[in-house]
Amino acid sequence: MQRLRQIVCAGLCRYYKPDKIEPVGCGGLEWLKVRPALQAALAGLRPQPGGQLFGLRDDDPRLWAICNQCGFRVDGCDFRDPAVPASQCAPCGGLRAVAGLLAAGQELEL
Ligand code: SF4
């Protein structure tokens, strides 16, 4: 889990605070946590500036599948809050990590 948090939270999440680790992570982190075989591919992700979701659309149903099982979605996620303009929010690292895997051609059951 330590390595996963390093890659996903420290590496990809703009909300990451090293002194405030939540016991339960976002939907993406929890989904990835039980799929350790994906960690090597995650470590190879190279995000580009401006490419928050590695080229995937915000409304990609595979990404919604992650958000729909996230404990922060209803109360705690600006990115999936329709009241927050897109220019004022960003996806979390867990969602970005899953998007990066999908964009790299990984077949994920979502
Ligand atoms: S973008 Fe929001 S709802 Fe989706 S996984 Fe991240 S925190 Fe959860």
Å from CA of 73 to ligand 1 middle: 6
What is the distance between the alpha carbons of residues 35 and 76, in angstroms, rounded to a whole number? Answer: 25
Residue 47's pLDDT band (cuts 50, 70, 90): confident
Residues touching ligand 1 (Cβ under 6 Å) are: 26-28, 66-67, 70, 72-73, 77, 79-80, 91-92, 94-95
Percentage of the residues of the chain whose pLDDT score is greater than 90: 85
Per-residue pLDDT at 50 exceeds 80: no
Nearest CA to ligand 1 atom 6: 92
Q: How confident is the model at residue 78 (pLDDT cuts 50, 70, 90)?
A: very high
Mean pLDDT across 75-98: 94
Domain boundaries, the chain: 2-103
Q: Compute, in angstroms, the gap from residue 70 CA to the centroid of ligand 1.
A: 6
Find out whether 4 and 42 touch, Cβ atoms under 8 Å.
Answer: yes
Enter the pTM of the model. Answer: 0.95
